[in-house]
């Protein structure tokens, strides 16, 4: 049965939407008999955040109107984290407390199954979930209305407002009440956005007359002085916007490459009272060597002993071979891939490598040393001690994944270059994509619009550079001239991944969990023990952080 919509919350939800929600819940590993509420992690949230700040007067009016009705109010943020609760019925409050539904807990479908908060966030529309339509058995005593809250300026989903009652059927008279409340919150977000823009403009004007390049990025505002205008191209503003969204209240400095190819030292700091508004100070980095002909210095993890022995580490697809060619500078690199042992045989492969190492001069790169059997790793370790050998570059997975002979080889390398996963290289995305397009089709003359770069920057990229190259190859099959729009991307990349909507702290937590699982070969019990959490909590974090098991 299908319900009508007339700008208000639908009073009856088609069963198909609930069925799809149940399917999503099953695929996320939520069981109908789920009883792990005590282990649901609660993440700290800012009670002065812009959504709760805008919603507070509206919530106060709603609670006054609902007093004596036994209804409850819930508000979740864009990550479906519960940031507000109000109860007229103490028994409902006690029940939710018993279930562990408290501030900071995720109400997303992947955490607790079908519910008005999580399902409204997934469907991006108002929804009512009658008691029996909840996926988890312990929620079937409640009926909930949920309505999304959109930011009028950025058009982003900011959160979900919910009215909950004890009982199995919905009261349709509450639908327009909830819709009006959501609209009022959106209007307050708009008013505050305008105030934030004024604060950001004032902060920009206070520093924009400096000789250095200054830019300011707000929710719907981009400001630059003349010096910054000469340095930045359209794709660079997308990168600055992504950096602004990740910025904390503490100022920081980082190096980025802009679309012109130049490198900039960027200082960024949030402007108090301007929401996500951020000021950027940009200073060109003079990469000319101090002495004519001198080579750029290789990043060193600890004091160098042999400058002719370098270890390049990173996940698969992070560009280890490309980095080896860069480090070789003018030398032609001869590659010996340890993966070739599987089909060439051990002895021929070792003989070929040792023969080359006996000839000084040039550069040799031994790829994937993490695949070397211990006896061959020991042979290579002895060869490293030779003074009459070519410059040697080793590549491998991150050092903390190595054991035995490969770990010994890694320890012998005083100079190291650690490559970050693509998902953590947002600042370099413009130059990476430009270089890849040139490599794929030198004749192509395309420009990735800032909205496209922002979408690409929001992907998790499990395949790193290999995956990005495949996406750009798809784009070039359909467009070789002009602007690349969102519709030119493969369909699955036209929507930002929720994993990229995690906070900086959650992304750091995600990386720690992934590393623990990798160290223990996917054994969740051992990983949980190392992390100091229960296995149930680990499962909850795997769902909440969208970690794909490897």
Determine the pLDDT at residue 395. 94
**C-alpha to C-alpha distance for 72 and 63, rounded to whole angstroms:** 8
Distances (CA, A) of 170 to 13, 146, 164: 11, 12, 9
Determine the pLDDT at residue 22. 92
Claim: this prediction has a pTM higher than 0.75:
no
Determine the pLDDT at residue 92. 81
Domain 422-500 classified CATH 1.10.8.60? Answer: yes
End-to-end alpha-carbon separation of the chain, Å? Answer: 41
Low-confidence ranges of the chain (pLDDT < 70): 1-15, 46, 168-170, 247-249, 287-307, 330, 387, 495-507, 536, 543-544, 546-550
Determine the pLDDT at residue 168. 64
Determine the pLDDT at residue 11. 42
Domain 502-544 classified CATH 2.60.40.650? Answer: no
**C-alpha to C-alpha distance for 393 and 321, rounded to whole angstroms:** 10
Q: Is 457 helix (H, G, I), strand (E, B) or coil?
A: helix
Q: What is the pLDDT of residues 221-261, one digit of tens each?
A: 888 898 888 888 878 888 888 888 776 667 888 888 887 77
Residue closest to 115 by CA, chosen among 103, 107, 123: 107
* Residues in contact with 391: Cβ distance below 8 Å, sequence separation at least 6, in sequence order: 308, 309, 328, 331, 362, 363, 364
Report DSSP letters for 85-118, one per residue.
Answer: EEES-HHHHHHHHHHT--TTBB-SHHHH-S-HHH
CATH code of the region 15-191: 3.30.450.40
Task: Give 487-504 as a 3 state SS string.
Answer: HHCCHHHCCCCHHHHCCH
- CATH superfamily label, 208-284: PAS domain (3.30.450.20)
CA dihedral for 518, 520, 525, 529, sign (positive or negative): negative
DSSP β-ladder status, 222-224 and 309-313: unpaired
Q: Which fold has domain 309-413?
A: Rossmann fold (3.40.50)
Determine the pLDDT at residue 5. 43
Q: Do the domains 15-191 and 502-544 sit in the same CATH topology, yes or no? A: no
Residue pair 239/309 in contact (Cβ under 8 Å)? The answer is: no
Phi and psi for 241 in degrees, rounded to 5?
Answer: -65, -40
Q: What is the pLDDT of residues 517-536, one digit of tens each?
A: 878 877 888 888 888 887 76
**C-alpha to C-alpha distance for 489 and 495, rounded to whole angstroms:** 10
Distances (CA, A) of 523 to 236, 404, 516, 520, 532: 42, 20, 9, 5, 14
Segments making up each domain of the chain, as ranges: 15-191, 208-284, 309-413, 422-500, 502-544
Determine the pLDDT at residue 161. 96
**C-alpha to C-alpha distance for 184 and 56, rounded to whole angstroms:** 11
Residue pair 102/122 in contact (Cβ under 8 Å)? The answer is: no
**C-alpha to C-alpha distance for 11 and 173, rounded to whole angstroms:** 9
């Amino acid at each position: 049965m299908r319900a009508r919509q007339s700008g208000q919350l639908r009073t009856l939800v088609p069963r198909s939407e609930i069925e799809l929600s149940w399917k999503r819940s099953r695929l996320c590993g939520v069981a109908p008999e789920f009883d792990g509420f005590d282990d649901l992690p609660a993440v700290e949230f800012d009670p002065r955040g812009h959504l709760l700040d805008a919603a507070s007067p509206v919530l106060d009016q709603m609670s006054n109107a609902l007093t004596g009705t036994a209804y409850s109010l819930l508000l979740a943020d864009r990550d479906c984290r519960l940031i507000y609760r109000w109860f007229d019925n103490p028994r409902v409050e006690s029940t939710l407390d018993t279930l562990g539904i408290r501030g900071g807990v995720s109400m997303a479908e992947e955490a607790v199954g079908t519910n008005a908060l999580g399902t409204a966030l997934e469907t991006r529309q108002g929804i009512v979930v009658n008691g029996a339509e909840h996926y988890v058995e312990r929620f079937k005593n409640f009926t909930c209305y949920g309505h999304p809250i959109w930011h009028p300026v950025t058009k982003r989903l900011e959160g979900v407002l919910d009215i909950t009652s004890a009982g199995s059927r919905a009261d349709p008279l509450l639908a327009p009440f909830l819709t009006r409340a959501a609209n009022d919150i959106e209007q307050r977000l708009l008013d505050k956005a305008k105030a934030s823009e004024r604060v950001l403009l004032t902060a920009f004007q206070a520093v924009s007359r400096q000789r250095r390049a200054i830019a300011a990025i707000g929710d719907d505002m981009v400001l630059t002085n003349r010096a910054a205008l000469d340095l930045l191209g359209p794709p660079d503003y997308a990168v600055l916007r992504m950096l602004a969204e990740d910025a904390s209240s503490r100022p920081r400095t980082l190096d980025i490459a802009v679309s012109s190819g130049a490198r900039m030292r960027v200082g960024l700091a949030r402007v108090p009272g301007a929401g996500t508004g951020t000021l950027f100070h940009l200073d060109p980095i003079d990469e000319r060597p101090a002495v004519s002909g001198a080579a750029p210095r290789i990043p060193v993890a600890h004091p160098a002993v042999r400058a002719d022995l370098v270890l390049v580490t990173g996940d698969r697809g992070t560009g280890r071979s490309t980095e080896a060619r860069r480090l070789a500078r003018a030398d032609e690199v001869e590659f010996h891939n340890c993966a070739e042992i599987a089909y060439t045989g051990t002895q021929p492969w070792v003989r070929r490598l040792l023969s080359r190492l006996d000839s000084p001069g040039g550069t040799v790169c031994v790829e994937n040393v993490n695949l070397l059997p211990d006896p061959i790793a020991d042979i290579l370790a002895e060869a490293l001690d030779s003074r009459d050998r070519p410059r040697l570059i080793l590549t491998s997975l991150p050092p903390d994944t190595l054991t035995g002979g490969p770990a010994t080889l890694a320890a012998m390398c005083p100079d190291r270059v650690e490559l970050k996963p693509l998902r953590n290289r947002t600042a370099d995305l413009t130059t990476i994509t430009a270089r890849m397009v040139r490599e794929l089709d030198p004749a192509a003359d395309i420009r990735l619009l800032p909205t496209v770069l922002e979408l690409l920057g929001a992907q998790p990229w499990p395949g790193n550079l290999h995956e990005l190259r495949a996406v750009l190859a798809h784009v070039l099959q359909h467009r070789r001239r002009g602007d690349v729009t969102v519709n030119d991307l493969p369909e699955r990349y036209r929507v930002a991944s929720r994993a990229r909507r995690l906070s900086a702290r959650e992304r750091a937590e995600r990386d720690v969990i992934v590393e623990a699982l990798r160290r223990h070969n996917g054994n969740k019990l051992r990983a949980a023990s190392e992390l100091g959490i229960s296995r149930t909590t680990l499962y909850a974090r795997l769902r909440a952080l969208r970690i794909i098991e490897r």
